Structure formats: structure tokens, C-alpha cells
Homo-oligomer: A and B are copies of this chain.
Amino acid sequence: MKRYRHKTRVVKIGNVPIGGSNPVAIQSMAKFKTSDLERTLAQIKSLEACGCEIIRVAVKDDSDAAAIKKLKAGIKIPLVADIHFHARLALAAIENGADKIRLNPGNIRKEKEIREIVAALKAAKIPLRIGLNSGSVQGTHVSAGSMSEKLVKSALSYIRTIEKLKFHDIVISLKANNVLDTMQAYRKIAKLCDYPLHLGVTATGSPVKGMIKSSIALGALLLEGIGDTIRVSLTEDPANEVQACRAILESVGLRHFGPELISCPTCGRCEVDLSSLVRELEGSLQGFKKPLKVAVMGCVVNGPGEAMEADVGVAFGKKEGILFKKGKAQGKVSFGSCARQLLNEMEKL
């Protein structure tokens, strides 16, 4: 099935092109003080390992800007410098090799400063993200209208300023602190320009609620064909942000990162500890690259059906299950040996 995708121009962030027909790229943000090189480098490397494709770092002062050069030498993925308030930090970040700059129209507004930054972006041949957030949109002095209208109007006004400087290497984000405003803002801007869109909900609260808000907003927008790169903002370890981005992209069928695990929620019919089996399998499947479907089901109601539809699967009855492979029953399997046998069968496929 060919799915509709909102047409955007291609913008390259280091070696990662976004927009056009490129895969929706996964972003996260390092959370230690950027100039704390040891911890920031370790965090970025662990994020790379779990699937982060673009990393952003806060540039709060000159020591952070200086750190970019050293970080770039130690990491593989493109690095984005997050700039607020101080144009000189944008210039320093570009000088030090950042692959993209994020500016906030809510706090860098002087035309002379914008001109200087754009000149430096052109010279370095790197793109700019114009990043609006509900928490700083008041700084743009667009005060009329709903939150989504304020985000869109502020972005468009900033875009026009930048376009006058003949610069079009632009990515846009419009993050509100809730699902409805965020979705409305992105839907509106998608109709008004063809710059790639960086999707995110901001200030999402507790990690579980943040994951749910982000899943709904990003999921619904991606299903509508909107979005070229995504970031899930969670008040916790950024590795969980990357995991959530991957799961969102898999869930909407846009990308696949290894096996898909299918397991029932269990109920009073289930006689095995399916939950522990799912945890065990989830761990074992992490390094597994083949995009196979694996089902582990707790009883005979939906078990045989899901196990047969999967590449490999087990439907449990009393303590033991029936192993299925490509739709065919392979015989009985004990609960204790189930994970090992499933992995063996997956290796062979």
C-alpha cells in the first residue's frame, strides 16, 4: 500500500537526509551539561547504540560551544546545537562543527544577529531548525489567536525573514505541551510550506504520560503523512526517548527495527508466567535484526491463530505449549525451554 506523505524538500543534517521520501529520522537530546565531556560523550554513544540517528545538545555558554568540536570527534551521528538567547553561541557552534543549529524565534530576534547566523550557516553549508515551543512563543510577540495559531504565525514570520536572506535549508518544529495544540499546529504549517517537519510534544510530564501524549500526537500526524524527523520528549533517560521513537515508527508501519513481539495481556485463562517470558524474549531479541514476527500467547482462544500468523510462535495451554513455525505446528514445547526454542527457530529462518 502506497501511503500519502506530505511533500517536503530534502535537508541534510550531516550524513542524514530528512524530508522528501527519506525515512523519518529519530532524534534525542543529551541531558548532561554539554561541557561535561565525559558524561555527554558516554550518553551520546549509548544513544547511538540504541538507535538514535541525530543528537542535539544544549549550548548554554561558551564552554558548551567549545565542547562541540570534541564531541564531534567522538561520535558518529550528526550533532545539532540548541541555541537560545545568544547569537554568539550559534556562531561559535557553527565554527566548532555543529551539523545543524536550532534557533528559537522566541528569544533570538534581532535582524542583525539573524543575518550573521544565516551567513555563517551558508558558509558552513548546514541547515537551521526554526524551533517554536509553547513555553517561549510569547517572546515572538505574536499574541493573537489559539496556541497553534501563535506557533504557526511565529514560525512563518521567522521563515519569511530567513527566506529574504535566500536561505532555505530549514526544518521546522512547533511543539505545544499537549496533543491537540501540537497536532493542530503541524497540520496547519504542513499546508503552508514544504520545509521538513520535526515533530514533538514538549513538556509532557511524567514519563508514562509523556510517552502516551507523544505516541498519540506523533502517531496520528505520521499516519496523516506529516513528519520527517521525530523526538519524544520524556523527563527521564533519553534512551527511553529513542526506544519510544522506534516503537512509534514501527507501530504506524513506517520503519522496522528487528522482530515484532506479539503477546496477549493474559487473563484468568493463562496458566504460565507469560509476562516473565515476554521480558526475557524482549531482552534476547534486542540484538536480532531480522524483521520476524514472534508470538507468545497464553491460551487456546487467540493463541493458535496468532502463533500461526507469526513467523514463529507458541500458544500455551496447561504449562506447555504448541510451537508453530510459518503457520505449521511443530510439536509441544515446555515453558522453560520456550524462549530458547523460539530463538533457535528464528536463527534458522
Contact = CB atoms under 8 A, between A and B. Distances in A.
A235 B263 contact: yes
A54 to B, nearest CB: 15
Interface string A257-291: 00011111111111000110011001000000000
A interface SS class:
mixed
A174 B346 CA distance: 30
Contact of A206 (B32, B104, B180, B282): B282
A210 B203 CA distance: 23
Interface stretch (A113-121, A159-167, A241-249, A335-343): A241-249
A193 interface: no
Contacts of A234: 265
Interface stretch (A15-23, A45-53, A122-130, A298-306): A298-306
B209 A211 contact: no
A42 interface: no
Which of A240, A243, A269, A274 has the most chain B CB atoms closer than 10 A to its own CB? A269
A240 B206 CA distance: 14
A143 to B, nearest CB: 13
Contacts of A202: 264-265, 302
A31 B267 contact: yes
A60 B294 CA distance: 26
A213 to B, nearest CB: 5
A297 B203 contact: yes
Contacts of A303: 135
Nearest to A261: B205
B219 A252 contact: no
A138 interface: yes
